[in-house]
Structure 1
Amino acid sequence: MECTRAQFLSTLAAALVTARSSAAAQKGPRMITRTIPSSGVAVPVIGVGTWRGFDVGADAARRAQLTGVLQALFDAGGRVIDSSPMYGSSEEVSGDLLTALGAHERAFVATKVWTEGRDAGIRQMEDSIRKLQHPRLELMQIHNLVDWRIHLATLRAWKKEGRIAHLGITHYRDDAHEALEAVMTSEAIDSVQLNYSIDNRAAERRLLPLAADRGIAVLVNLPFGGGGLLRKVQAQPLPGWAAEIGCRTWAQVLLKYVVSHPSVTCVIPGTSRPEHMRENAEAGTGPLPDADLRRRMAAVIG
């Protein structure tokens, strides 16, 4: 559904009133933070991914709902927003909403380069900066390692010039872990984004320990697994130990497992619903499972 600027601003204003009223009513513990080893920058452990959920184009009602998602993230003390040119209109939507919220300075915006060739990569990244409406991005990542050698040289130059604060690589599949490991071992990078969940712990074997050894921050995608894990466990009652770590939902249990790994810097579950953002953000507060409970959780769920 297309909308005029006036319609969008009117809907956005209503969403802001609702979001701020909700924030005023909710006062709780602030989110746990972790530090990016290469820079010392602290980031909250729960962020939001924009794949699918933020690809809404000019739909005013859906944009207003996403304003509530970002407001819920910020109200909970979060600030990491991850996007990509691969995600349709998500970069442009994120940039518009951050501008409308006046939230560029508090947001930690990460996006990606996803094309082949030096010049094409530069054009794409400059387009991303324009869409996201901020001259300096916190993190630029090479999406799924596409032409990573060429883009890494550009990212190093951009970091030196101050156009980006951090550089990294990403993938979302187990069969790419060997390639991720090779880059992490041979190159100086600030972050790696990878798939990790309680039912897919392949990253625990080599990548997460390597990230700790090399001083590389870890962003986690697919924390709810890729095979309907969340739908599967939601049919079961919460175990008694869930309350011990401050979890009231299965989504929070799954997120706390991931967050509790000491190598994980931030988890970026995607959502387009403010109530789910608030629920996810709560998983970044309170006690985390210790090593013994993590083993029991994996045995029961994974």
Structure 2
Amino acid sequence: MTRFTRRRFIQSIAGIGAALALPRPAWLATAKQPIQKSIPASGESLPVIGMGTSRTFNVAGDPQSMAQLSAVLDAFFDHGGALIDSSPMYGNAERVLGELLSQTERKNLFAATKVWTDGKRAGVEQMEQSRRLWGVDRFDLMQIHNLRDWRTHLETLKAWKAEGRVRYIGITTSHGRDHEELAAILEREPFDFVQFSYNIDNRIAEERLLPLAADRGMATLINRPFQRGDLFRRIQGKPLPDWASDYDIASWGQFFLKFIASHPAVTCVIPATSKVDHMVDNMGANYGRLPDAETRQRMIQYFES
């Protein structure tokens, strides 16, 4: 991957100038502090909107792509973001992210990645490689990706947490698979975080995983909040309801994100994007009011109508 420098950024910025010159969003004019929720294991607070890097940060490292992602990262931090989630599974994402972080004011970075391999030694080597790629002294959160060799990695992560080499430990799945096995693991193992898929059209997690996480005192990270874009295709041409503005919702993206973030057992949602305007819009869900239980049902009914 070609080294990305400030000079190369300046040379390539003309190609994304329009994105960087976005008008100031209306919600930002009255925004104060981001909506935050507590990590049950510690009481530490996190903004409810984080950032994923699956697909979006898996680029070759050409100057234009790096300039665009640098602007995305700046928009994330400038609008109150903290938690960034990645994985060795995501191709070049960790390397790209680390290079961009080295040239970005990290502000309140909460660094979260995953171990995705078999065997203790391979797991340790992979986690150390991730730390070097990110350029961090330690990860805030290390997760076992898609339950892969979870028994082996959990023993390592318990030891690392006790030694202060990671702050929190977690386990993940995605797109609705392995829910039964994941639930069985959560019932007996002491994870600080659990990550899975949940959105307004895929609410299976409400049946067991979300209540279980709440009962066990585990923070939750939510992936695939837009169901890989399917939710936007479902509502194409459909206007936002007038009452959405009562909850500081100015777009369908914010509608979908605030539906998720308003669940009492959800800690942080991690949408992924490579576009600055989409990032700014996503971060609008980081501010204002969250829907109450009655409004959440109203949101479902409107989406499905």
Secondary structure at 2:154 match in 1: helix
Any unmatched runs of 5+ in structure 2? none
Aligned AA for 1:59?
A: D
Secondary structure at 1:61 match in 2: helix
Cα distance between partner residues in 2 of 1:199 and 1:4? 39
Aligned residues: 300
User: Which of 142, 145, 148 is the aligned partner of 1:143?
Assistant: 145
Hey, what does 2:109 align to over in structure 1?
A: 107
Coordinate RMSD, CA, aligned = 2.4
Moved more, 142-151 or 155-164: 155-164
Cα distance between partner residues in 2 of 1:293 and 1:268? 22
Residue correspondence of structure 1 range 162-181 to structure 2 within 5 A: 162-181=164-183
Hey, what does 2:129 align to over in structure 1?
A: 127
Hey, what does 1:97 align to over in structure 2?
A: 100
Aligned AA for 1:141?
A: Q
Q: How far is the alpha carbon of 1:8 from its aligned partner? A: 3.1
The superposition leaves residues 107-153 of structure 1 with CA deviations (integer Å, 9 ceiling, x where unpaired) of 11110000111111111111100100112111100000000000001
Give the structure-1-normalised TM-score. 0.92
CA, structure 1 residues 133+221, in 2 after alignment: closer, same or farther (shift >3 Å)? same
User: Which of 44, 61, 65 is the aligned partner of 2:64?
Assistant: 61
Secondary structure at 2:132 match in 1: helix
The superposition leaves residues 43-65 of structure 1 with CA deviations (integer Å, 9 ceiling, x where unpaired) of 10001100111111321111111
- On the 8 A contact 1:137/1:163 being kept in 2, the answer is yes
- On the 8 A contact 1:7/1:60 being kept in 2, the answer is no
Cα distance between partner residues in 1 of 2:99 and 2:25? 24
Aligned AA for 1:127?
A: Q
CA, structure 1 residues 4+37, in 2 after alignment: closer, same or farther (shift >3 Å)? closer
The superposition leaves residues 62-91 of structure 1 with CA deviations (integer Å, 9 ceiling, x where unpaired) of 111111111111111111111000111110
Cα distance between partner residues in 2 of 1:74 and 1:4? 20
Hey, what does 1:221 align to over in structure 2?
A: 223
User: Which of 261, 265, 268 is the aligned partner of 1:266?
Assistant: 268
Runs of 4+ in 1 over 4 A off after TM superposition: 1-7, 11-16, 18-27
CA, structure 1 residues 158+3, in 2 after alignment: closer, same or farther (shift >3 Å)? closer
Cα distance between partner residues in 1 of 2:93 and 2:72? 13
- On the 8 A contact 2:80/2:286 being kept in 1, the answer is no
Give the structure-2-normalised TM-score. 0.91
1:283 aligns with 2:262: no
Hey, what does 1:43 align to over in structure 2?
A: 46
1:84 aligns with 2:87: yes
% same residue? 49
Moved more, 26-35 or 246-255: 26-35
